[in-house]
Structure 1
């Protein structure tokens, strides 16, 4: 499979990366943050304003960043979780994705700075995400939003959280989401070698060993992989979930796991739109400011939000 020429050119200019297992955690976080905040947002992903807040969780608080679009009236609210393998990332590293969802989905976005592993292993991340989702529902009117038009979104690890929270909310009796956006979140702790895991074991960018290391940091006990909050694909039932949009990258070791989750949802009668983006690699949505494939994916995600969160 051919990698997108623009991505191939970018990768050729990058220094050799030893893999996350071989980089001290503080340096890894610093490197990811510095490289991420240097990426420009889409120039036409124009929003109205942002605001930082702290929202409650059991035993503490969660930093969030709120994004309002220029649209007026009661608006949908999308709770978004950034990617980063459960270990890296913050409100700034995927700011460009949150802005695009806000602008192109005509939605208020609540971006969640959930606790990171290994300091805060599973289930801290999905618990924070669910607490933020409940807070958004409870405070929707004060935010200018509609409590009956909620959505969940995330990329990579954050996509796993979005799918897990949809299951958690269903089992808790609410809040009910109208839509879930999963951008290359595999929704499964890998235990078998899928065709994509074999083909792209050495990358580009994300390797299968990177995937393994991230899960090693996240789960304090391998048996936790059976918990649907860690691996949404392993839920006993997927019936009764809201519509899902599943984005996958063609050249990604986690591609097949994400696509299997989409198929699992469809088998359970859930409305699913799954789209594989040709030539793309894991993490490509962050390049929305200059990569046509990333722009297409986030425009598609915005359209999905508009369709399923319409008044």
Structure 2
């Protein structure tokens, strides 16, 4: 049986369409600039009208010391008063793809449905900017958010970090930096199918070779670009962290047909063993980012419903 046969039928429809249009999936495009352009084109085709219930504002804020400034996009519930919880949002893309604009839809949804101020960070990408540039940008943006809660209308005691895929890995890495550098304090973290282990030795990392979305060869390539020929530390690959105690309560979800399945389950188990509250969901039939490519599928709606509920509970 092919692993593709295990995919939820509704979620498989757009995936099959993608592979018809682009045999081999995104990673079949060898040039990273051309690959980014293709991803942006596909995401642009999924755009929806502006949500009148959410306002957006772009700002440029200080980056890491001695490094360029970074951009953030701030989402606020329209007409909200008083202080709100804050969600620091880190986009995905395997450390080599993606941007803030490409994740307007989920960032807007989180803002509206959780009733939170969302700050989405634009970090530098590999291979042009290998580790530690991306995570240092993310940490700098979090520090700016925490230092400007009064201006943002955010409750400093109710800040969560959210990210999917590479953004999930950077969510954990940013939380590790916050722990090890004495802040900012975090109420919660939600790494979604996080990319956290550069070793590619798990069973699932060897199973997922022809799905078309983040298969083994593409993952190996992305890690090589991200590390830039240097060994991984825990802030590059959080699965390597020796000590995971002291991290904020967590929520992790991943699909059964996702290359990151086993590393994410193992990390959730390590959090639990270290005394960190962790809610783990493993979704049968879901591939990597299935809820993005098949947003109307029943499985995708369940996935988002569970996430929104967890964020509300954590930040209320």
Q: Same fold (TM over 0.5)?
A: yes
What is the match of residue 199 of structure 1?
A: 207
Q: CA offset at residue 46 of structure 1?
A: 6.7
Partner of 1:290: 296
Match 1:86 to one of 78, 95, 103:
95
> How far apart are the structure 2 equivalents of 1:19 and 1:288?
17
1:13 matched residue in structure 2 = 17
Q: Give the SS at the match of 2:99.
A: coil
Q: Measure how far apart 1:191 and its partner are.
A: 3.9
How many residue pairs get aligned? The number is 306
Normalising by structure 1, we get a TM-score of: 0.92
User: Residue 220 of structure 1 is aligned with which of 205, 216, 228?
Assistant: 228
Residues 298 and 69 (structure 1), Cα distance of their counterparts in 2 relative to 1, 3 Å cut: farther
- The corresponding residue for 1:154 is 163
> RMSD over aligned Cα, in angstroms?
2.0
In the TM superposition, 1:190-269 aligns within 5 A as 190-192=199-201, 194-223=202-231, 225=232, 227-269=233-275
Cα 1:215–1:187, aligned 2, differ >3 Å: closer, same or farther?
Answer: same
1:169 aligns with 2:173: no
Q: What residue ranges of structure 1 are gaps of 5+ in the alignment?
A: none
Residue number in structure 1 paired with 2:119 = 110
In structure 2, the gaps of 5 or more residues are: none
- Deviating beyond 4 angstroms after TM superposition, the runs of 4 or more aligned structure 1 residues are 43-46
What is the SS of the residue equivalent to 1:94? helix
Q: Distance in 2 between matches of 1:235 and 1:159?
A: 15
Give the Å deviation of 1:113. Answer: 0.8
Give the conservation status (yes or no) of the 8 Å contact 2:26–2:39: no
Alpha-carbon distance in structure 2 between the residues aligned to 1:138 and 1:172:
15
1:38 alignment counterpart = 45
SS in 2 for 1:210: helix
TM-score of the pair, normalised by structure 2:
0.91
Counterpart position of 2:276: 270
Q: 2:30 aligned to 23, 28, 37, which one?
A: 23
Checking the alignment, whether the CA contact within 8 Å between 1:179 and 1:244 is kept in structure 2 is yes
1-structure distance, mates of 2:274, 2:51:
35
Distance 1:102 1:242 in 2: 21
Name the SS for the 2:123 alignment partner.
coil
